[in-house]
Amino acid sequence: MQIYLVGGAVRDQLLDYPVKDRDYVVVGATVDDMLQQGFSPVGKDFPVFIHPISKDEYALARTERKSGLGYKGFEIFASPDVTLEQDLQRRDLTINAMALSDGQLIDPYGGKADLDSKVLRHVSDKFTEDPLRVLRVARFAARYAHLGFTIAPETMALMRQITGNGELQSLVAERVWQELERALAEQSPWVFFETLRECGALAVILPEIDTLFGVPQPAQHHPEIDTGIHTMMVLRQAALLSSLTTVRFAALTHDLGKGLTPAEQWPSHRGHEIKGLTLLKQLAVRLRTPNDFLELAQKVMQFHTHCHRALELKPATLLKMLDSIGAFRQAEKLDLFLLACEADSKGRLGLEHGDYPQADRVRRAFLAVKGVTANEFVEQGLTGKKIGEAVFNQRVDIIAKLDKNE
């Protein structure tokens, strides 16, 4: 039995990145061998075990064959006869196909050289057997873009081939969403979507985003003109402002409605805030997006232009916005909403470093009125709708006085 540290842990160690998870491959062992040594089996589709002390994952060396059956569409062959090189060959990128044993690097496919050259390159032609690898490569591009990594031309060609063959449509929603959410958490998430667009996959995976490219906006408000470019700029700003993937998803989807504007109405997009809600819901249903992502994205889509006009909104209008986004039920929702709106404001050519005083006004108004509750009006003997009206009116008066004193 031989044990090797493999995959991401090796890659990140060589990059001086923090190693989060350690995965091991066991060569020359059987299931019974692992059980006798105290390992606990997990997973039903191929032999993976948990170490009794470290709790790290240990998998028997295996090969895979695309079959449409078994684990994620693959037939798994785990055997004591499978070599380390065969196990590594089934992996997606050369930088993920290295192993370590007693400090010695095993690198049969040139992963270290590609790390040094900052190239994302597929291991073998088996790359095309799993269409999810298109999304995975795009995600790694988003992770390492700040280090200067690029995708090898021959790998991009295979990504285009997979897309052109229609294989992306076979991916189940859970796998797509998992990669999308992981990509949103990367250091340069916009690179994920730009990469998918380069190989044609964005039109398949997220046609609502792909449609935005080439759609013009008014130059006086959007010097970058193109809505797709604006969307990527907004996502970039969201990544600077927050590590939360809910905020980044809301930034990504806030302008979907502009893709529905008839060309004869360009560059105006009147009512896009409401029109886009249907597209957003369709996207969320298709990808089985979690409710917290959808709820924030809906609020940002519907009310981001209200927020941009916060300095000129009447107290009653501002109060209605606060209520609509759920600020009085969950105060943290307001902070997330304002972060996405600020990203939208700064996601414009030449305005990336501008201030966003609108958020300050909204926060001050909320803090000033959040203490007004129904209790005092109930004690006064009010009932039914009159309680809500009294709360609303008092909050409006407080915001009006706050504005007057500033």
Residue-wise DSSP of 9-65: HHHHHHTTPPP---EEEEES--HHHHHHTTPEEE-SSS-EEE-TTT--EEEE-EEEE
- Rounded to whole angstroms, the Cα distance separating 86 from 88 reads 5
Strand partners, 4: 25
Residue whose C-alpha is closest to residue 301's, from 356, 231, 242: 231
Q: Is 125 exposed, middle or buried (0-12, 13-18, 19+ CB in 10 A)?
A: exposed
pLDDT, mean of residues 248-262: 98
Q: Is the dihedral of CA 254, 256, 258, 261 positive or negative?
A: negative
pLDDT, mean of residues 324-337: 95
Helix (H, G, I), strand (E, B) or coil at 90: coil
- This model's pTM is above 0.85: yes
> Between 244 and 63, where is the model more confident?
244
**What's the pLDDT tens digit per position in 114-154?**
999 999 999 999 899 899 999 999 999 999 999 999 999 99
Q: Is 6 exposed, middle or buried (0-12, 13-18, 19+ CB in 10 A)?
A: buried
- Domain 1-114 fold: Beta Polymerase; domain 2 (3.30.460)
Full DSSP string of 303-330: HHHHHHTTTT--HHHHHHHHHHTTTTT-
Residue 44 has what pLDDT? 66
**What's the pLDDT tens digit per position in 166-182?**
999 999 999 999 999 99
- Rounded to whole angstroms, the Cα distance separating 265 from 216 reads 10
Residue 71 has what pLDDT? 42
Separation of first and last alpha carbons in the chain: 74
- Rounded to whole angstroms, the Cα distance separating 34 from 53 reads 14
Q: Is 320 exposed, middle or buried (0-12, 13-18, 19+ CB in 10 A)?
A: middle
Q: Quick one: pLDDT band at residue 47, thresholds 50, 70, 90?
A: confident
Residue whose C-alpha is closest to residue 65's, from 96, 86, 48: 86
> Between 230 and 41, where is the model more confident?
230
Full DSSP string of 171-223: S-HHHHHHHHHHHHTSSSHHHHHHHHHHTT-HHHH-HHHHTTTT-B--TTT-T
Cα–Cα distance list, 23 to 4, 51, 55, 58 (Å):
8, 10, 10, 6
Per-domain residue ranges for the chain?
1-114, 371-405
